[in-house]
């Protein structure tokens, strides 16, 4: 704040940082105090109102981003659950087919075993 008050010319990067932090706004308000447009208390009130407004906007953006991130995570989870369910159904279908094939093979083998055992028993 001191350097801006005594006339320092900040670079673009420094100017953006000072602006974001409110140094340039306070410098502007102190210029109004020096000209007699309003007093120091009014400058402080205006600065605090500006800062509160800026923080509210920043919090709204953060909340919006968090909401988007949460919605994205929820949609990814739902998609993953759907893929897992489809995969489970596919695996169950394959297992059922394998069980049916095994049962059919046992059914074919059982009468053949009975026929081979029957002559030996007689």
pLDDT score, position 95 = 93
From CA 48, how far away is CA 115, in angstroms rounded? 99
Model pLDDT for residues 13-55, shown as the tens digit of each residue: 999 999 999 999 999 999 999 999 999 999 999 999 999 999 9
Enter the tokens of residue 71.
């919605």
Model pLDDT for residues 81-101, shown as the tens digit of each residue: 999 999 999 999 999 999 888
Q: pTM for this structure?
A: 0.54
Enter the tokens of residue 43.
């400058």
Which ranges of 7-39 does DSSP label H, i.e. alpha helix?
12-21, 23-35
From CA 91, how far away is CA 111, in angstroms rounded? 31
- pLDDT value at 56 more than 70: yes
From CA 114, how far away is CA 99, in angstroms rounded? 22
Enter the tokens of residue 44.
């402080």
CA distances from 106 to 35, 100, 113, 121 (A): 103, 10, 10, 22
């Amino acid at each position: 704040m001191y350097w801006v008050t005594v006339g320092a010319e900040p670079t673009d990067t420094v100017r953006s940082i000072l602006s974001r932090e409110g140094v340039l706004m306070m410098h502007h308000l102190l210029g109004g105090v020096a000209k007699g447009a309003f007093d120091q208390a009014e400058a402080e009130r205006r600065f605090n109102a500006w800062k509160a407004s800026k923080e509210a906007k920043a919090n709204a953006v953060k909340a919006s981003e968090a909401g988007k991130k949460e919605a994205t995570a929820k949609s990814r989870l739902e998609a993953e659950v759907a893929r897992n369910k489809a995969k489970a159904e596919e695996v169950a279908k394959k297992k059922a087919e394998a069980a049916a094939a095994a049962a059919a093979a046992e059914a074919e083998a059982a009468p053949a075993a009975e026929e081979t055992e029957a002559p030996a028993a007689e």
